[in-house]
Amino acid sequence: MGYQVVAAQLARLSGALGTSDHASVVSITLFVALLCACIVLGHLLEENRWLNESITALIIGLCTGVVILMTTKGKSSHVLVFSEDLFFIYLLPPIIFNAGFQVKKKQFFRNFMTITLFGAVGTMMSFFTISLAAIAIFSRMNIGTLDVSDFLAIGAIFSATDSVCTLQVLNQDETPFLYSLVFGEGVVNDATSVVLFNALQNFDPNQIDAIVILKFLGNFCYLFVSSTFLGVFTGLLSAYVIKKLYIGRHSTDREVALVMLMAYLSYMLAELLDLSGILTVFFCGIVMSHYTWHNVTESSRVTTKHAFATLSFIAETFLFLYVGMDALDIEKWKFASDSPGKSIGISSILLGLVLVGRAAFVFPLSFLSNLTKKTELEKISWRQQIVIWWAGLMRGAVSIALAYNKFTRSGHTQLHGNAIMITSTITVVLFSTMVSHLMLQSLSNAVYQLIT
Amino acid sequence: MGYQVVAAQLARLSGALGTSDHASVVSITLFVALLCACIVLGHLLEENRWLNESITALIIGLCTGVVILMTTKGKSSHVLVFSEDLFFIYLLPPIIFNAGFQVKKKQFFRNFMTITLFGAVGTMMSFFTISLAAIAIFSRMNIGTLDVSDFLAIGAIFSATDSVCTLQVLNQDETPFLYSLVFGEGVVNDATSVVLFNALQNFDPNQIDAIVILKFLGNFCYLFVSSTFLGVFTGLLSAYVIKKLYIGRHSTDREVALVMLMAYLSYMLAELLDLSGILTVFFCGIVMSHYTWHNVTESSRVTTKHAFATLSFIAETFLFLYVGMDALDIEKWKFASDSPGKSIGISSILLGLVLVGRAAFVFPLSFLSNLTKKTELEKISWRQQIVIWWAGLMRGAVSIALAYNKFTRSGHTQLHGNAIMITSTITVVLFSTMVSHLMLQSLSNAVYQLIT
């Protein structure tokens, strides 16, 4: 008996071990080389106001996808399969942590109420608008057998704004108010849409009553408060440990390592406890930049500041490269190419819904928020409202991750509808990122000149 | 047809995607938490001369292994399977790069000939000694059906010293000569043993003639020269790009990102071209610290120096934690516990062979090297020879990776012999790391006092 167990174990091991898998070496080398190219090209194109690293990475990713598609004779356009794990475990934490670490805290806390209002209530309003409109429009079109829970998922998927992309577009130093509002909203929005999406997974549309809604709201508040608490607690703990033990006395490296590891630990703990890791690591970043950062040695301060920004920068560039390359995956487009008209129609409708869904809360909530403000200066001006509306139109990796989660798992009987939803999501993401980025750049340039 | 292809594709995708795999979240959280514990404990135990982070990590790993073993009721002691990929793709590059980046270049190049002599010729001598002795001794014991090629592999596995551990034991500032010699030897040794091991994989012991040996030597020289060249070239390229494009003008982060990515790229390219990534990234580190580092902005200089050291520190600690946890994997010990006497015997014999194999080249080669030196000061003293001999006794993750590669793959018919070789390797690694670390600490303390 023992022999068989060991034989099975060894077989498993030998499969898992192998010599370094050649394919993974190839894909890692390719990605690292492309990342270098993105940095160099992004630097060379810096003077060009229409492009930045993200768009460069997206375009390089698309081009690489085309090259791979041609060399593999149309079999595949990507070297890595899009993996939620890669995104949620490795790429997202450094980006959001760094955003918290570098955010202008004064602005952020001054606008805390507005940010929460936009991020939580606004996302809900956008979710209802998109879901209801999707039910009304799509159920009349003949696209597979999508049911109500699918339409609700679509509402959640397309309510998730891309906070990473927003960071690239607005400038913290030039427009601190808009930046903190839009970015803060993005973080809360991420949390809200993930909560919404998870709540919808085990949701029966025939059983909506007050208790279900109350339960949902309670769950959301619990999540919000406990995630924030966990982040703040980990941040304070790191500050205490580093000050009390004076770890930098012997080695800067240990100090930096501890700060990095504890920040990451906060995210992973939150994920483990089914909280929102994004919220946790964001608040952990804020607390660490406010307390821990002042307890470390001078060289640790320089190192952490730049190392976190670098990691976040690499993760962002990687993400856009990846989305660009993955977008061309040929299998996904089989259905779309069978009925191109319908595909374009659905993508356009979704884009329209995103526009409407966002307008449906930005303008009313700005109006509400303005009612509570006394001076004219504190109010959100009409022009600022337009920038907020526009800046939050981008849909990014969170939407893609949620769409994959929903439409590649929920049974293969509804293949037609599922495939079309995946391709439409990719279309909306690519289109909204590229177009709204470009338009926002010129729009906000104009707005900057008007406000300043 | 299209439907079926897509269905298969989607099934594959949904398997690969899933929601973040709960098990992987648990294991990552556990590892990050343990890493934090290692840093804090290592800091607290700093005054204790018998312990350092590596040994602390090894012990914490073993303890965690015991706890997991008990909570899973003896089923498993590890949360991650030892993977060569993890080791060779993620953990080793930052450690070796940082070693090259921080090495005292003057000392290193002054002793270049001696280092190459010890690393290349010495490793070969050690390999022959251990292989021949293993053939002579083990073939008379009844341990499975190990054949000549297995014994040759044992020679290669136990000739690979642990350069990571060596770094921890010798102090670059106190004994620069010994440090550069032992560490430099370790890097060349790594390359030599990996080349040896790979050459042995498709080696027919019945066909040894002059041509085979010449071919092997030619292959080794090609590998050595081209790996070094690739590393130097990538290093110089990074210096040129950063100076020419003045990337630090706008952003320190891009500069740091480019340095990191190009260093990693050199390693991955070497692996892709079947060269020695270890040699490449080591020389890349040397060139980058000599040229690139002087072209970047002041804050990039502080950041790269500490960020690389931090990454290397985390990778090292992770490695020891991992080896500690993996060592207790219950499946491996089934055979060892069936015949404990034989297991202990074999491990002791291997330890003895390691001692003899190292002595067989350190003392003769030191003698040879001394013949070429004119002044008494340049010669390797008797005491230094003992430290070199002892410092290179540690066997580490490279040995484990090679042993897994050889003995969990080469057919399951020879299970008994294979299992015993795996457990013996782990025993030798644990024993040599812990004991020789402790002895070297006291030994070298004594030697420092005598030399200085």
Question: Which chain B residue has its CA at the smallest distance from A33's CA?
Answer: B265
Residues 216-245 of B with CB under 8 A from A: 241, 245
φ, ψ (nearest 5 deg) of residue B161: -80, 165
At residue A236, the pLDDT reads: 95
Distance from CA of A268 to the nearest CA of B (A): 6
Is A262 touching B (CB cutoff 8 A)? yes
Say which amino acid occupies A253: D
Say which amino acid occupies B264: Y
Residues 6+ apart with CB under 8 A from B406: B150, B153, B157, B197, B421
Question: Which chain B residue has its CA at the smallest distance from A329's CA?
Answer: B9
Q: What's the rounded Cα separation, in Å, for the pair B224 and B229?
A: 9
Handedness of CA B404, B405, B411, B417 (dihedral sign): negative
At residue A409, the pLDDT reads: 59
First-to-final CA distance of chain A? 79
Residues 6+ apart with CB under 8 A from B207: none
pLDDT confidence bin for A401, thresholds 50/70/90:
confident
Helix (H, G, I), strand (E, B) or coil at B161: strand
At residue B190, the pLDDT reads: 75
For chains A and B, count residue pairs whose Cβ atoms are closer than 8 Å.
223
CB contact under 8 A, A40 and B261: no
What is the secondary structure of B1-49 as a DSSP string?
-HHHHHHHHHHHHHHHHSSS-HHHHHHHHHHHHHHHHHHHHHHHTTT-T
Q: What's the rounded Cα separation, in Å, for the pair A115 and A364?
A: 14
At residue B259, the pLDDT reads: 93
Residue the block writes with tokens 């006497």:
B341
Stretch (H or E) spanning B258: helix B252-272
CB contact under 8 A, B271 and A412: no
Handedness of CA B406, B409, B412, B416 (dihedral sign): positive
Is A452 touching B (CB cutoff 8 A)? no
Is A451 touching B (CB cutoff 8 A)? no
Is A32 touching B (CB cutoff 8 A)? yes
Is B16 touching A (CB cutoff 8 A)? yes
The stretch A181-205 carries a mean pLDDT of 75
Contacts of B307 in chain A (CB under 8 A): 256, 303, 306-307, 310
CA atoms within 13 A on the CB side of A377: 1
Q: What's the rounded Cα separation, in Å, for the pair B238 and B332?
A: 45
CB contact under 8 A, A254 and B43: yes
pLDDT per residue of chain B (452 residues) written in tens, 0 to 9: 333 333 333 333 333 333 446 777 888 898 999 999 988 888 887 766 566 677 788 888 888 888 887 887 766 656 666 666 777 888 888 988 988 888 778 878 888 888 888 888 898 899 989 999 988 888 777 766 677 788 888 888 888 887 666 666 677 777 778 888 888 888 778 777 777 777 776 666 666 677 877 887 788 788 888 989 999 999 999 999 988 887 767 678 888 999 999 999 999 999 898 888 888 998 999 999 999 888 888 888 999 999 999 998 898 888 888 878 877 766 666 666 677 777 888 889 999 999 899 999 999 999 888 888 888 777 888 888 888 888 777 787 777 777 877 776 554 444 677 778 888 888 888 888 777 667 666 665 665 565 55
Q: What's the rounded Cα separation, in Å, for the pair A240 and A193?
A: 34
Specify whether the CB–CB gap between A86 and A396 falls below 8 A: no
Q: What's the rounded Cα separation, in Å, for the pair B232 and B244?
A: 18
Beta bridge partners of B395: B161
Is A82 touching B (CB cutoff 8 A)? yes
At residue A14, the pLDDT reads: 33
The angle that helices A22-44 and A298-327 make with each other, rounded to 10 degrees, is 110
At residue A413, the pLDDT reads: 42
Q: What's the rounded Cα separation, in Å, for the pair B305 and A53?
A: 25
Distance from CA of B368 to the nearest CA of A (A): 38
* Ramachandran area for residue B245 (φ above 0: left; ψ -120 to 50: alpha; else beta): alpha
Is B84 touching A (CB cutoff 8 A)? yes
CB contact under 8 A, B84 and A20: yes
The residue of B12, B253, B267 whose CB has the most chain A CBs within 10 angstroms, and thus the best one to mutate to test that interface, is B253
Contacts of A262 in chain B (CB under 8 A): 36
Cα angle B287-B234-A302, degrees, rounded to a multiple of 5:
60
Of residues A9, A39, A412, nearest to B10 (C-beta): A412
The stretch A191-203 carries a mean pLDDT of 72
Residues 287-316 of B with CB under 8 A from A: 299-300, 302-303, 306-307, 309-310, 313-314
Distance from CA of A358 to the nearest CA of B (A): 27
The distance of Cα A210 from the centroid of its chain, to the nearest Å, equals 31
Q: A450 or B390: whose pLDDT is higher? A: B390
CA atoms within 13 A on the CB side of A447: 21
Specify whether the CB–CB gap between B418 and B408 falls below 8 A: yes
Q: What's the rounded Cα separation, in Å, for the pair B423 and B408?
A: 12
Contacts of A269 in chain B (CB under 8 A): 29
φ, ψ (nearest 5 deg) of residue B434: -70, -50
Cβ-count burial A200-230 (b if 16+ within 10 Å, e if not): beebeeeeeeeeeeeebeeebeebbebbbeb
pLDDT confidence bin for A238, thresholds 50/70/90:
very high
Specify whether the CB–CB gap between B252 and B299 falls below 8 A: yes
Specify whether the CB–CB gap between B30 and A432 falls below 8 A: no
Distance from CA of A303 to the nearest CA of B (A): 4
Contacts of B45 in chain A (CB under 8 A): none
Say which amino acid occupies B104: K
Residues 416-445 of A with CB under 8 A from B: 418-419
Q: What's the rounded Cα separation, in Å, for the pair B24 and A271?
A: 11
Q: What's the rounded Cα separation, in Å, for the pair B122 and B192?
A: 10
CB count within 10 Å of CB A250 equals 11
Q: What's the rounded Cα separation, in Å, for the pair A118 and A368?
A: 11
CB contact under 8 A, B254 and A89: no
Question: Which chain B residue has its CA at the smallest distance from A416's CA?
Answer: B3
DSSP B395: B
Of residues A25, A299, A307, nearest to B268 (C-beta): A25
The distance of Cα A419 from the centroid of its chain, to the nearest Å, equals 22
Query: Distances in Å between the alpha carbon of B149 and those of B284, B407, B410?
Result: 34, 11, 11
Q: Which of A267-276, A333-342, B94-103 has the lowest mean pLDDT?
A: A333-342
CB contact under 8 A, A250 and B46: yes
pLDDT confidence bin for A47, thresholds 50/70/90:
low
Q: What share of chain B is helix, strand, coil (3-state, %, to 5)?
A: 80, 0, 20
CB contact under 8 A, A250 and B18: no
Residues 6+ apart with CB under 8 A from B10: A408, A412, A415, A418
Contacts of A250 in chain B (CB under 8 A): 43, 46
CB contact under 8 A, A245 and B40: yes
Question: Which chain B residue has its CA at the smallest distance from A253's CA?
Answer: B310
**Does residue A28 register a pLDDT over 90?**
no
Topology annotation, domain A83-451:
Na+/H+ antiporter like fold (1.20.1530)
Q: A190 or A270: whose pLDDT is higher? A: A270
Residues 6+ apart with CB under 8 A from B212: none
The distance of Cα A92 from the centroid of its chain, to the nearest Å, equals 7
Contacts of A331 in chain B (CB under 8 A): 5-6, 9
Of residues A9, A261, A302, nearest to B35 (C-beta): A261
Beta bridge partners of B161: B395
Contacts of B303 in chain A (CB under 8 A): 302-303, 306-307, 310
Q: In this structure, what token pair is assigned to residue A138?
A: 């799509």
Residues 6+ apart with CB under 8 A from A216: A199
CB contact under 8 A, A306 and B313: no
Contacts of B202 in chain A (CB under 8 A): none
φ, ψ (nearest 5 deg) of residue B424: -65, -40
What is the secondary structure of A129-197 as a DSSP string?
HHHHHHHHHHTTS--TT--HHHHHHHHHHTT---HHHHHHHS-TTT-HHHHHHHHHHHHHHHHHHHHHH
What are the helix (H) ranges across A408-436? 415-431
Contacts of B11 in chain A (CB under 8 A): 412
Q: A22 or B315: whose pLDDT is higher? A: B315
Distance from CA of A388 to the nearest CA of B (A): 27
Helix (H, G, I), strand (E, B) or coil at B265: helix
CB contact under 8 A, B272 and A25: yes
Q: What is the mean pLDDT of chain A?
A: 79
Q: What's the rounded Cα separation, in Å, for the pair B214 and B212?
A: 5
DSSP B331: G
Q: What is the pLDDT of residues A65-120, one digit of tens each?
A: 888 878 877 666 566 666 667 778 888 889 889 888 887 788 888 888 888 888 88
Question: Which chain B residue has its CA at the smallest distance from A88's CA?
Answer: B20
Query: Distances in Å between the alpha carbon of B430 and those of A371, B66, B290, B323, B335?
Result: 69, 15, 36, 9, 18
Question: Which chain A residue has its CA at the smallest distance from B23's CA?
Answer: A272
Residues 6+ apart with CB under 8 A from A196: A123, A124, A127, A155, A156, A159
Say which amino acid occupies B305: K
Is B268 touching A (CB cutoff 8 A)? yes
**Does residue A326 register a pLDDT over 70?**
yes
Which of A165, A215, A167, A226 shows the shortest CA–CA distance to A191? A226
